[in-house]
Chain A
Amino acid sequence: MRILLVEDDPDLTRQLKLALADAGYAVDHAPDGEEAQFLGETEPYDAVVLDLGLPKVDGVSVLERWRRGNVTTPVLILTARAAWSDKVAGFDAGADDYLAKPFHTEELLARLRALLRRSAGHAAPSLSCGALRLDPRAARASVNGEPLRLTSLEYRLLHYMMMHQGRVIGRTELVEHLYDQDFDRDSNTIEVFIGRLRKKLGADRIETVRGLGYRLIALEGESA
């Protein structure tokens, strides 16, 4: 397993390198954002441990550039800033996990193991509908390569609709697939979720068929 460690503090770098090597990983080190970006784009790492406060280019920007450049390597963010707004920004940029400083090395190693285990999960073919793509392996969806931020319920709904794209799906059917049996919800639940999905995907992608339900369609001019 090859890990890229992006950290500018020499002491912390030394400690982490040691701990990671002890745990059996091959470690590359980048002390600043520019080098990190370059290494991440050129080398096939299994995971990245990324500090956010970096010289030259900050960590969030590096991460955003990787994701835009289709680098899907799982990234664990290390940062001193632990406010929720920072966490949200980190995950928005495409992070897979988040660890606030100061931390114990054991915790970092445990998180890294979980990250690697997840990314090595069973492969499933990705689904697409026009410019809309859904990757069941990473539980991620994107439009024109731009990642969508979906909650699990929204993702579930979209997943189901993509598996049945082009077909009109009734509300009851959608509710049944959205919730487990122990959840009972009122009938406008689906409307709420369809509304949110439309906001995130674009309103035209989900058609309302009066009295019957909804249909996911590819937009005109898009190849399926």
Chain B
Amino acid sequence: MIDLRRRSLVRRLVLIAGVWTLLVMLVAGVFLTAQFRGAAIRRFDQSLAVLTDDLYAGSSVDDGELRAPFLTDIRATRAYSGRYWVILDKQRDGAMRAVERSRSLFDSDLMLSSRQVDQLDAKPGKTQYFDLRGPQDKPLRAAAIQARLPGYPDPVVFLAAEDRSPIDADADRFAGVTAIALLILGVGLILAVVVQVRFGLQPLFRLRREVAAVRRGKTERVDGAYPDELEPLARELNALLAHNQEVVERQRTHVGNLAHALKTPLSVMLTEASQQPGQLAEVVERQAQTMREQVDHHLRRARAAARSQTSGERTPLEPILDELAVTLERIFQDKGVQIDWRCPEDLCFQGEKQDLMELAGNVMENAGKWCRGKIRVEAAPEGEARLLLTVDDDGPGLPPEERAQALKRGQRLDENAPGSGLGLSIVDELARAYGGSVQLGESPLGGLRVCLDLPRAEA
């Protein structure tokens, strides 16, 4: 048995409609054919009844002999023409003897079964209709009437019969045509149902696509207009998304508050320790440093955990690069750092603004630390859905073997050993969280080139 709960709604609806249509069509076909056959047989019977009536009315008894009337029906004269009549004498022992018969019967006879004889006996003077087997074993339709004729000792049965194969053939043809017509109708109806269901369920498919887009982070909520039946579902989905986001946001805020609240006491401890040199001061300093790293590390992890659940944000790069360039030039103003940045206006990062700021900010700050005065930042779309952020500086750069080292330090972050003089470990961790990567290379300006590969959002 097919588990209907797991089949597609479309298939389910079409299946139900199909089975029901088929059933109705079948019943309608059988009913129509039966009606047609019945009507044809009734008309046929009427013409036979006319013949029996003629026989009954025209027969006379002459000297105890029964005389059939002279009938002009030409078909009853030709042998095996298909139209027959016979007048039977029901003898005292119950046996039927043909007294007169149509010429068409030639050398054969029409026999009534004993049940049919009883039937006639039960209602004398009333025309009865039967199916018979005639000459050459042809199916016949017969009308018969049992009556007594004045001057004749035995009851007489007037029987007229005709080959029924023409009406059977008509009925069969009708059944065939009806079946074809109903089949066409049925197929048409099922097709209509398929179209209706597909069209009718369109909003459902749209909702599915939108939810998928939310999951993939293309959008933040389900936005389309939906029919009355789906509107509440869309609303509930949005409420759920909002609730989720709120919970995550709250957690993040809690972790952030805790982490930040710890920093002032740490500062106090560090300062106090540095003012009273000695073994205690060293231990305090070392431990405070570890605590700071731990706090920073877990703060980042909390943000990363939150990120995997909230999604759908897109952040334009240009204003971020502008803000960072202005800020970093202020931070490094004693050194006179000049940041030359280029970015297409419509380039968007698929992710949160804060994360993009951390990524670009740390890479650019690193460049600021090491450069002699010039930093070049270039953002450009890459392939279908990526973007490349390249930061060059004119500092000393890193030899290839140390480049690998700088990124390895990033990998160790997860093993609770955060911290890197380059600040690139954080970048590497974040970029990985976004399915991106960091490449270190040689800059045309002579220093280090850091190349960030990140997901791009459609503008």
State the Cβ distance, B278 to closest chain A Cβ, in Å: 17
Closest to A103 in B: B267
Residues of A within 8 A of B296 (CB): 82
Residues of B within 8 A of A1 (CB): none
Q: Is A101 an interface residue (CB 8 A)?
A: yes
Closest to B285 in A: A104
Residues of B within 8 A of A18 (CB): 275
Closest to A192 in B: B342
Do the beta carbons of B268 and A103 come within 8 Å of each other?
no
Q: In whole angstroms, what is the CA distance A149 to B268 when docked?
A: 34
Q: In whole angstroms, what is the CA distance A15 to B292 when docked?
A: 19
Residues of A within 8 A of B324 (CB): 84, 88
Do the beta carbons of A12 and B362 come within 8 Å of each other?
no
Do the beta carbons of B333 and A118 come within 8 Å of each other?
yes
Do the beta carbons of A152 and B322 come within 8 Å of each other?
no
- Interface residue stretch chosen among A35-43, A61-69, A92-100: A92-100
Closest to A22 in B: B275
Q: In whole angstroms, what is the CA distance A33 to B292 when docked?
A: 27
Q: In whole angstroms, what is the CA distance A150 to B323 when docked?
A: 9
Q: Is A114 an interface residue (CB 8 A)?
A: yes
Residues of B within 8 A of A87 (CB): 327, 331, 361
Closest to A200 in B: B322
Q: In whole angstroms, what is the CA distance A188 to B374 when docked?
A: 20
Q: Is B10 an interface residue (CB 8 A)?
A: no
Q: Mark A167-203, 1 if CB is under 8 A from B, else 0.
A: 0000000000000000100000000100010000000
Q: Is A53 an interface residue (CB 8 A)?
A: yes
Residue count of chain B within 8 Å CB distance of chain A: 42
Q: In whole angstroms, what is the CA distance A147 to B180 when docked?
A: 85
Do the beta carbons of A81 and B264 come within 8 Å of each other?
no
Residues of B within 8 A of A126 (CB): none
Residue count of chain A within 8 Å CB distance of chain B: 40
Q: In whole angstroms, what is the CA distance A101 to B264 when docked?
A: 6
Q: In whole angstroms, what is the CA distance A105 to B263 when docked?
A: 14
Residues of A within 8 A of B327 (CB): 84, 87-88, 91-92
State the Cβ distance, B183 to closest chain A Cβ, in Å: 70
Q: In whole angstroms, what is the CA distance A150 to B326 when docked?
A: 6
Q: Is B231 an interface residue (CB 8 A)?
A: no
Q: In whole angstroms, what is the CA distance A81 to B288 when docked?
A: 17
Q: Is B271 an interface residue (CB 8 A)?
A: yes
Do the beta carbons of B267 and A102 come within 8 Å of each other?
yes
Do the beta carbons of A152 and B339 come within 8 Å of each other?
yes
Residues of A within 8 A of B261 (CB): 80
Residues of A within 8 A of B339 (CB): 151-153
Q: In whole angstroms, what is the CA distance A104 to B353 when docked?
A: 30
Q: Is A146 an interface residue (CB 8 A)?
A: no
Q: Is B325 an interface residue (CB 8 A)?
A: yes
Q: In whole angstroms, what is the CA distance A15 to B265 when docked?
A: 12
Closest to B266 in A: A102
Do the beta carbons of B264 and A80 come within 8 Å of each other?
yes
Checking A11, A53, A84, A151 against B326 with a beta-carbon cut-off of 8 angstroms, the contacting residue is A151
Residues of B within 8 A of A11 (CB): 268, 272
Q: Is B340 an interface residue (CB 8 A)?
A: yes
State the Cβ distance, A50 to closest chain B Cβ, in Å: 14
Q: Mark B331-364, 1 if CB is under 8 A from A, else 0.
A: 1011001111110000000000110011011100
State the Cβ distance, B98 to closest chain A Cβ, in Å: 117
Do the beta carbons of A97 and B270 come within 8 Å of each other?
no
Q: Is A83 an interface residue (CB 8 A)?
A: yes
Q: Is A131 an interface residue (CB 8 A)?
A: no
State the Cβ distance, A106 to closest chain B Cβ, in Å: 8
Q: Mark A95-139, 1 if CB is under 8 A from B, else 0.
A: 111101111111000000010001000000000000000000001
Checking B267, B338, B340 against A101 with a beta-carbon cut-off of 8 angstroms, the contacting residue is B267
Do the beta carbons of A84 and B266 come within 8 Å of each other?
no
State the Cβ distance, A95 to closest chain B Cβ, in Å: 8
State the Cβ distance, A131 to closest chain B Cβ, in Å: 21
Do the beta carbons of B323 and A149 come within 8 Å of each other?
yes
State the Cβ distance, B43 to closest chain A Cβ, in Å: 95
Do the beta carbons of B331 and A98 come within 8 Å of each other?
yes
Q: In whole angstroms, what is the CA distance A180 to B39 when docked?
A: 108
Q: Is A19 an interface residue (CB 8 A)?
A: yes
19 A-B pairs (CB sep. < 8 Å): A12-B268, A15-B271, A15-B275, A18-B275, A80-B259, A82-B296, A83-B354, A84-B360, A87-B327, A87-B331, A87-B361, A88-B327, A101-B263, A105-B275, A106-B274, A118-B334, A151-B325, A151-B339, A183-B374
Which A residues are within 8 Å of any B CB, using their own CB?
9, 11-12, 15-16, 18-19, 53, 80-85, 87-88, 91-92, 95-98, 100-106, 114, 118, 139, 149-153, 183, 192, 196
5 additional A-B pairs beyond A53-B260, A80-B264, A103-B267, beta carbons within 8 Å, are: A15-B275, A16-B271, A53-B264, A85-B353, A101-B266
Which B residues are within 8 Å of any A CB, using their own CB?
259-261, 263-264, 266-272, 274-275, 288, 292, 296, 322-327, 329-331, 333-334, 337-342, 353-354, 357-358, 360-362, 374
